[in-house]
């Protein structure tokens, strides 16, 4: 019998600008697997903020903690949660986690995917990219495209919670085999319209790869990113469906 | 469906020393977390209502609800231990079960005042008391040294709230 399982993996690396200025990697990535499903969270600390590395780590932990609180009960499924309540809880955890710093110092974006049962919840605050792809034509993209093309305002976690700044979608997990999340250090350099091909290519190349090999190969190409004069930190993470004979 | 009301009493220290650094902001975030979590239909909490009181020279009830922003906490004066203990002693109790009492404070009290509170807390049949010290830069290991059972680091607020079993008074 062939069983489908989901695995999560990710790689983050500091960008040339932060190395040069002696600052830490302001991106963060965290993945967890539980009996009820998997979580993967990615964040990009807002560059100009003093403690944004703390903020980005804290928001990844907040996604995990909020999910644990909610999905601990077998009765709770993605399809019957109130997304706004979940995101408000996530934000309230983040405010506590950044202790003793202020939201202003720790501002960070948030991208996450949660698989619970037959559903995938994708959520995004601020820039970066989430792409869910399948072997057929199904594809779903979340990104932070500004409605006003002149706008350069990026949303990020701050003192107050604004539900309208979040993007989210719920997908049928049976129809997808991969969810890719990446920070703008990667997504900004992708040619518009090539996001799905990029995600599919990554799944084909690394979906069934040994973890160690995958980690070092991806780390190598992130460190040797082809865009001239690239500066930003880079984080890429995936939730992949793998088939097991069992 | 059970309609029994289980209240968490939250004491928000609003004495003058809470105006230092980011103490007030941390206090606010902790109350915000409790409020947001309580609002979830499946919150895994042992209580279903919160009552927040501010504590300085006076002890006052503060209205907290989900729809509106948290009120601004204004700080002034000294934290009066006698006023606090008298406030809780006056609340009529259902003596079958202790009430949960969570104190959010920097504990900037004179030794004598601290002892008055500790003696009151030790004699309590009506309240199960937990404390989250709001001291900037306090480490988790320092809190464990205080008491691993009743004291919690601000980042561990979820552990302070649940599990929290209360014995019969």
Q: What is the pLDDT along chain A (246 residues), one digit of tens a residue?
A: 566 799 999 999 999 999 999 999 999 999 999 999 999 999 999 987 889 999 999 999 999 999 999 998 888 999 989 999 999 999 999 999 998 899 999 999 999 999 999 999 999 999 999 999 987 777 889 876 654 445 567 899 999 999 999 999 999 999 999 999 999 999 999 999 999 999 999 999 998 889 999 999 999 999 999 999 899 999 999 999 987 765
Q: Does the predicted model carry a pTM greater than 0.90?
A: yes
Quote the ipTM score: 0.91
pLDDT of residue A36: 94
Q: Which of residues 40-69 of A touch B (CB under 8 A)?
A: 65, 69
pLDDT attached to residue A149:
46
CATH number at residue A35: 3.60.40.10
B42–A95 CB contact, under 8 Å: no
Selecting from A76, A89, A102 the residue whose C-beta is nearest the C-beta of B37 gives A89
**Per CATH, the architecture of B7-161 is what?**
3-Layer(aba) Sandwich (3.40)
3-state class (DSSP) for residue B129:
strand
CB–CB of A92 and B32 under 8 A? yes
Residues in chain B within 8 Å Cβ distance of A82: 41
- Given A75, A82, A92, which is nearest B33 (Cβ)? A92
In angstroms, the CA A241 to CA A175 distance is: 11
| Nearest CA-CA partner of B37 in B166, B167, B160, B165 | B160
Q: Which helix (H) or strand (E) holds A168?
A: strand A166-172
Q: Verify whether the Cβ–Cβ distance A89 to B154 is below 8 Å.
A: no
> Which residue(s) pair with A6 in the sheet?
A241
pLDDT of residue A150: 52
Peptide bond into A80 cis (omega under 30): no
| Positive/negative CA dihedral, A166, A169, A170, A173 | negative
- What's the token pair of residue A135? 């072997």
B33 and A95: CB-CB below 8 Å?
yes
pLDDT at position B26 over 70: yes
How many interchain CB pairs under 8 A, A with B? 53
pLDDT at A71: 92
Is the separation of the CB atoms in B64 and B52 below 8 Å?
yes
Q: Give dist(CA A38, CA A128) in Å, integer.
A: 20
Instruction: Assess whether pLDDT exceeds 70 at residue B2.
Output: no
pLDDT value of position B45: 95
B94 vs A13: CA distance, rounded Å: 57
Query: Measured between alpha carbons, how far is A55 from A106 in angstroms, rounded to an integer?
Result: 4
Tell me how far apart the alpha carbons of residues A122 and A93 are, in angstroms, rounded to a whole number.
Answer: 19
Rounded distance between C-alpha atoms, residue B71 and residue B62, angstroms: 8
**Which residues are CB-contacts of B65 (< 8 A; sequence separation ≥ 6)?**
none
Give the dihedral of Cα atoms A89, A94, A97, A98; nearest 10 deg: -160
Q: Which residues of A touch B136 (CB under 8 A)?
A: 100
Using an 8 Å CB-CB cutoff, list chain B residues near A65: 158
Query: Is the torsion defined by CA of B159, B160, B161, B166 positive or negative?
Result: positive
Alpha-carbon distance of B126 to B106, in angstroms, equals 24
Is A72 in contact with B44 (Cβ distance < 8 A)? Answer: yes
**Number of independent structural domains in chain A:** 1
| Residue A65 domain boundaries | 2-245
């Amino acid at each position: 019998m062939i069983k489908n399982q989901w695995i999560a993996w990710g790689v983050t690396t500091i960008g040339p600008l932060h190395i040069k200025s002696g600052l830490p990697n302001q991106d963060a990535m965290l993945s967890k697997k539980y009996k009820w499903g998997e979580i993967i969270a990615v964040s990009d600390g807002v560059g100009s903020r003093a403690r944004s590395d703390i903020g980005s780590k804290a928001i990844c932990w907040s996604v995990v903690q909020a999910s644990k609180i909610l999905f601990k009960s077998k009765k709770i499924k993605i399809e019957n949660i109130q997304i706004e309540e979940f995101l408000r809880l996530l934000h309230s955890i983040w405010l506590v986690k950044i202790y003793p710093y202020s939201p202003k110092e720790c501002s960070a974006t948030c991208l996450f995917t949660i698989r619970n049962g037959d559903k995938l919840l994708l959520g995004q605050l601020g820039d970066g990219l989430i792409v869910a792809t399948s072997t057929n034509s199904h594809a779903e993209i979340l990104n932070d495209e500004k409605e006003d093309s002149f706008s350069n305002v990026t949303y990020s976690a701050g003192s107050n919670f604004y539900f309208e700044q979040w993007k989210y979608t719920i997908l049928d997990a049976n129809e997808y085999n991969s969810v890719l999340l990446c920070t703008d250090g990667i997504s900004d350099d992708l040619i518009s319209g090539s996001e799905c091909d990029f995600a599919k290519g990554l799944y084909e190349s690394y979906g069934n790869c040994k973890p160690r090999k995958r980690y070092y190969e991806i780390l190598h190409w992130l460190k040797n990113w082809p865009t001239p004069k690239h500066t930003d930190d880079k984080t890429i993470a995936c939730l992949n469906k793998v088939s097991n004979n069992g | 469906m059970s309609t029994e009301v289980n209240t968490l009493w939250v004491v928000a220290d609003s004495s003058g020393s809470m105006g230092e650094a980011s103490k007030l902001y941390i206090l606010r975030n902790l109350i915000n977390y409790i409020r947001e979590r309580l609002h979830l239909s499946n919150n895994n909490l042992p209580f279903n209502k919160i009552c927040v009181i501010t504590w300085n020279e006076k002890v006052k009830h503060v209205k907290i609800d989900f729809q509106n922003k948290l009120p601004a906490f204004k700080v002034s004066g000294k934290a009066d231990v006698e006023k606090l203990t008298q406030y809780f002693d006056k609340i009529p109790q259902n003596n079958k079960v202790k009430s949960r009492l969570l104190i959010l404070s920097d504990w900037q009290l004179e030794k004598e005042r601290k002892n008055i509170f500790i003696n009151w807390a030790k004699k309590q049949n009506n309240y199960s008391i937990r404390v989250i010290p709001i001291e900037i830069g306090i480490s988790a290991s320092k809190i464990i040294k205080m008491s691993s059972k009743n004291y919690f680091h601000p980042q561990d607020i979820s552990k302070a709230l649940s599990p929290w079993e209360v014995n019969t008074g």
